[in-house]
Amino acid sequence: MNAAPKTLRHLTDCETAGLTNARKRAALEKVAAQYAIAITPAMAELVDRTDPNDPIARQFVPDAAELETQPEERADPIGDHAHSPVEGVVHRYPDRVLLKLTHVCAVYCRFCFRREMIGPSAAPLTQKQLDDALDYIATHREIWEVVLTGGDPLVLSARRLKQVMSRLAAIAHVKVIRVHSRVPAVDPGRITPELVRALKAKGKATYVVLHANHARELTEAAREACARLVDAGIPMLSQSVLLAGVNDDPQTLGMLMRALVECRIKPYYLHHGDLAPGTSHLRTSIEQGQRLMRALRGRLSGLCQPAYVLDIPGGHGKSPIGPNYFSRDETGRAQIEDFNGEIHCYPPAT
């Protein structure tokens, strides 16, 4: 009986799987020394080995370009540390906090904005640190929403997740729990009925936000995993990152958004790439992102339209950076541009 495929965690694993080769070993060893590697069987199977620019490989397979750091890049590009009152909590916005339960992920994305903070060698939260984090949430009554992140919270056992959800359920002023994860797509077998039950918190609205960047990630198994969540009454949203060579053309991005909606997942955010070290080869320009959003507007259903956002470096939060369709002419009259690029006065001339 053949053993089940295992997650690729080392360069030798990647070479054996045909994702890298020995000629690149010297440079990739330097990458592996800095940034964690993990490619699940589901994602390794999707990679087209005949395509040197395969969009799945670009997301997960280590690349020597990661050794090139630009002056503007930074270890904490969105300023988590500046807004962390206790270990494991980021309180950037008045009514919500991030609760970083783990520093481990099922896969390690080559563009990750927390790549300096996560990985198997990162220390997990101790029980005292988790208690302190939950106490912070309990004593700050302005916190209406808790976002479980990390790392990836869905790598935790159902038992562990249930414990955290139960403690959050006991905090009266917390009304919404949002779980950010790649797991339903990259390791769909983990979305078991037991784990789905663990995500339900009595009296709270639970949302799961799936991170997916290419329509191919939504395999049949991934769609079934998402359906288990949605059918259990857990609404799903998505977040994607705009990535050069992955989804930076209208057709590819549109296919992703449509695939998500077909899975009953509402596209939520399209993130501009953060200034994480060694990721410049995967970043686009903001102007390119705005052109892509214009290409989606009016040509795809409103259900398929995410908000294009930038996390301002330094911890200043997200801002929408999508294209603007409103202006005024030289007389001060309002003008609105339609999805075909035509300009209309508002209110219309009588």
Give the residue numbers marked as catalytic.
92-93, 96, 105, 109, 112, 114, 274, 311, 318
Give the number of other CB atoms < 10 A from CB of residue 219: 17
State whether residue 331 is helix, strand or coil: coil
Q: Are 134 and 168 in contact (CB under 8 A)?
A: yes
Residue 289 CA, chain-centre distance (Å), reads 17
Q: Count how many residues are written for the chain.
A: 350
What does each C-alpha distance from 170 to 143, 202, 300 come to in angstroms?
Answer: 13, 9, 42
Q: Are 103 and 123 in contact (CB under 8 A)?
A: yes
State whether residue 334 is helix, strand or coil: strand
Q: Give the Cα separation of 111 and 282 in Å (integer).
A: 7
Region for residue 264 given its phi and psi (left: phi exceeds 0; alpha: psi -120 to 50; beta: otherwise) = left
Q: Give the Cα separation of 153 and 330 in Å (integer).
A: 53
Q: Give the Cα separation of 308 and 205 in Å (integer).
A: 25
What do you get for the CA distance between the two ends of the chain, in Å?
Answer: 79
